[in-house]
Amino acid sequence: MFYNIEVEDYVRVEPRLFGLKTSDAVAKQLQETYSDYHDKEIGEVIGIIAVLEVGDGVIIPEDGAAFYKSKFRLLVWKPELQELVFGLIDEITNFGAFINLGVMKGIIHISQTMDDYVTFSSTGTLLGKDSKKVLKKRDPCIARIVALSYKGDQPKIGLTMRQPGLGKLDWITEEKKKSKSLVKKASNDDKKEKK
């Protein structure tokens, strides 16, 4: 889920930025500091929205930088259990698929790709035995986050597509058409019975 959060912290501005206006130097330092930044508590930083306040600078002996107490807004994405996510299949492997969620990647185990017996084909796709569904690279999908692990540098996101309304967008569209057709047929059958 995306969040707009306000942070108050001391920003360490390096000496090479001292020629800039203080607010610009703090903003530039924040951009560099929060580039590719992830924190378990706040999530993955997408960008700096605004620098709200910059206090007086403090210089600490033996450190050439200046520290400014600042308030700023961050746009972050923090994955949440049970959250629905959209992404494109980035890679297919013999054990499942990696889906690019835009901000980071998640993994869908082969058993969680569809309600069917699934095999990995020599063409680099996942095939459903009975349904004949095919999952390949660059397919747009909707999945649900079912597992999160924060061991290591980046969180590991486990996904499933084995629930109603999830999966490859083509499959979802097809399921909706089938459902509408069944409802229409049931309605017609009810009308016939009443006559």
- The mean pLDDT value for 168-189 works out to 84
- The mean pLDDT value for 73-90 works out to 95
- The mean pLDDT value for 126-139 works out to 93
- Are 142 and 120 in the same domain? yes
- Are 101 and 52 in the same domain? no
- Are 142 and 127 in the same domain? yes
Give residue 195's pLDDT band: very low, low, confident or very high (50, 70, 90).
low
- pLDDT value at residue 137: 95
- Are 14 and 52 in the same domain? yes
Residue 101 above 80 pLDDT? yes
- pLDDT value at residue 113: 94
- The mean pLDDT value for 127-154 works out to 92
Check: CB of residue 180 under 8 Å from CB of residue 194: no
- Are 89 and 45 in the same domain? no
- Are 63 and 94 in the same domain? no
For all residues of the chain together, what is the average pLDDT?
91
Residue 36 above 90 pLDDT? no
* The total number of structural domains that make up the chain: 2
CA distances from 61 to 28, 43, 65, 66, 141 (A): 23, 33, 9, 10, 54
Of 25 and 151, more confident: 25
Which residue range forms the structural domain that includes residue 104?
84-178
Residue 46 above 90 pLDDT? yes
Which pLDDT tens digit goes with each residue over 11-25?
Answer: 999 999 999 999 999
- Are 7 and 24 in the same domain? yes
C-beta pairs of 35-43 under 8 Å, 24+ apart in sequence: 38/153, 38/154, 38/155, 40/150, 40/155, 42/3, 42/5, 42/7, 42/74, 42/76, 42/78, 43/3, 43/76, 43/77, 43/78, 43/79
Domain of 159: which CATH number? 2.40.50.140
User: Has residue 158 been placed in a domain?
Assistant: yes
Of 54 and 181, more confident: 54
- Are 37 and 100 in the same domain? no
- pLDDT value at residue 182: 80
- The mean pLDDT value for 76-103 works out to 94
- The mean pLDDT value for 77-104 works out to 94
Among residues 77, 105, 121, the one where a domain terminates is 77
